[in-house]
Amino acid sequence: MTDQSAPKERSGGEEVIAVDADDEPQGLVDRLEAHTGDGIRHRAFTCMLFDEQGRVLLAQRARNKRLWDTHWDGTVASHPTEGQTQIEATEERLEEELGVTPDQYGDLEITDRFEYKRYYLDEGLEWEVCAVLTATVTDPTLDPDPEEVGGTLWVDYEDLWENPRNYRQLRTCPWFDIAMRRDFRGDST
């Protein structure tokens, strides 16, 4: 069980890749600096793992996350490091956060990319060019890291989109909402 009184993570000292609106690298910036004040546009990704029944695996962000703590997200989301592809970064986060290894899923691919900027309370913001990746799980065995994940939930993806009132108790992350909206409206690339 995660200590609810633990301080929220502070991201200083780590670097993210600053990018222009076309996702072209503009150098490295401190992660905390990219997420505070007016923010700095940077590269990110979100991944949605699906099972063979069309359900998406949602993961609740741990309470110690500085931004969007306890909100529900697609399966994982993060930032690639310098020299790392979006696919490599996604594989790494799937294993670190959920204990899911590449032999448990297939067809991991980038399906979309979009830019967004959203503020979260008085804690900071996300200003990202976000790649969306998807894959299909053949072995749904999970081993979540409680420092990263507060809970997991398999949800029928179409039902989540078509009947949002049924899921209104799930506060979802803005990047997941955007990715899902773009997917169902046919805006994805």
From 118, 157, 151, 121, select the one nearest 136 (Cα to Cα): 157
Residue 128 marked in a binding site:
yes
Residue 9 marked in a binding site:
no
DSSP state of 54: S
Residue 79 marked in a binding site:
yes
What does the buried/exposed string (b/e) look like for 110-136 if buried means 16 or more CB atoms within 10 Å of the residue's CB?
bbbbbeeebebeeebbbbbbbbbbbbe
CB atoms within 10 A of CB 4: 7
Q: What values do phi and psi take at 126, rounded to 5?
A: -115, 130
Give the active site residues: 128
* Secondary structure (3-state) at 182: helix
Q: CB-side exposure of 55: number of CA atoms within 13 Å?
A: 12
Contacts of 10 (CB under 8 A, 6+ apart): 32, 66
Residue 126 marked in a binding site:
yes
Annotated binding site for Mn(2+): 35, 42, 79, 126, 128
Annotated binding site: 35, 42, 79, 97, 126, 128
